Structure 1
Amino acid sequence: MITVLGGIVQARRSRPMTREIVKQDAELPALLPESSEARQILAAHIDATVRKIVEGEDERTRDLSGVLFWVSFLTLAVFLVVVAADRGGYWWLLCLPAAVGWLLGAPAVVQDATLRRRDARGRPV
């Protein structure tokens, strides 16, 4: 579970904070002379970035059903390890499917929890 939470936190941290960058960039034209070509270029860049934010904001979603499915998959993997630890003996063989479940489930949860453009079926575009 710690792996999944760490992946989600990392995915959120690595996302560029576009609105904060635009906010900082919006303060720069006031520092430049009015006739400066750099001021016009910066203003055009800020305008284009704001347009991208507004247009793309509604298109990016999370796949909640996928997140719930894979979290239940991870829960089952943890349950198998707990049963194996409790019973011992040949029950330790349950750790093999648990490991496969964990290796499949952890990246899938991060993928489905990340904001992305998705098609009608919820698959990343």
Structure 2
Amino acid sequence: MKFADWAPILVAFITVTGGIVQARRKRPMTREIVKQDAELLALLPEDSEAKQILAAHIDGAVREIVEGEDEQTRDLGGVLFWISFLVLAVFLVVVAVDRGGYWWLLCLPAAVAWLLGAPAVVQDVALRRRDARGRPV
């Protein structure tokens, strides 16, 4: 295969990856939101009912952060393993398209690899409580 055959795929991959990175970067993190809420709390008058409500909200958010940080993890090994399945599926489809003929039968194992890999990546990348072996609890 020539580079010209791979160029559109690489451009699409880089574009999608960049979009995902930018989308995640724009969302404020939980600690940043709590920090902004604490700054807003300092600006409210002492006798305000909103100050008490906001203080209770900040207290609950901080508790969730502290309790959830230690318990929720991603399974990085599982993510890498299942991403290799997705890469294998894409490779098999590219070979089938390039060679033609009976090589189109490679789309069957590619479909199986994709159907196994895609949901598994989503499951392993999600923040969850996990046991010592990395399995979801």
- Tell me which amino acid in the other structure corresponds to 1:51: R
Residues 59, 118 of structure 1: 8 Å contact kept: yes
User: Distance in 1 between the 2:80 and 2:44 partners?
Assistant: 51
Normalising by structure 2, we get a TM-score of 0.71
| Aligned twin of 2:83 | 71
Identity of aligned residues (%): 87
Question: 4+ residue runs of structure 1 moved beyond 3 angstroms?
Answer: 8-13
Are positions 1:80 and 2:87 aligned together?
Answer: no
Opposite residue 108 of structure 1, the aligned amino acid is A
Q: Which has the higher contact order (CA 8 A, sep 6+)?
A: 1
Q: 1:111 maps to what in 2?
A: 123
Residue correspondences, number:
123
- 2:50 aligns to what? 38
Deviation string 1:38-82 (CA, Å, 9 cap, x unpaired) is: 212211221221121112111111112211211121122122223
- Distance in 2, Cα, partners of 1:27 & 1:67: 38
Decide whether the 8 Å contact of 1:60 with 1:118 is kept in 2: yes
Which residue identity lines up with residue 68 of structure 2 in the other structure? G
Q: Matches of 2:21 and 2:131 in 1, distance apart?
A: 24
Change (3 A) 1:114 1:73: same
List runs of 5+ in structure 2 lacking aligned partners: 1-12
Q: Distance in 1 between the 2:116 and 2:125 partners?
A: 15
* Among 54, 65, 80, the residue aligned to 1:53: 65
Helix, strand or coil: the match of 2:122?
helix
- Asked if 2 retains the 8 angstrom alpha-carbon contact of 1:11 and 1:114, the reply is no
Q: Return the letter of the residue paired with 1:21.
A: I
Over residues 2-31 of structure 1, what are the superposed CA-to-partner deviations in whole Å (9 max), with x where a residue is unaligned? 8x959x759957x77321221121122223
Q: Which moved more, 1:48-57 or 1:103-112?
A: 103-112
- CA 1:65/1:117 → structure 2, altered by over 3 Å: closer, same or farther? same
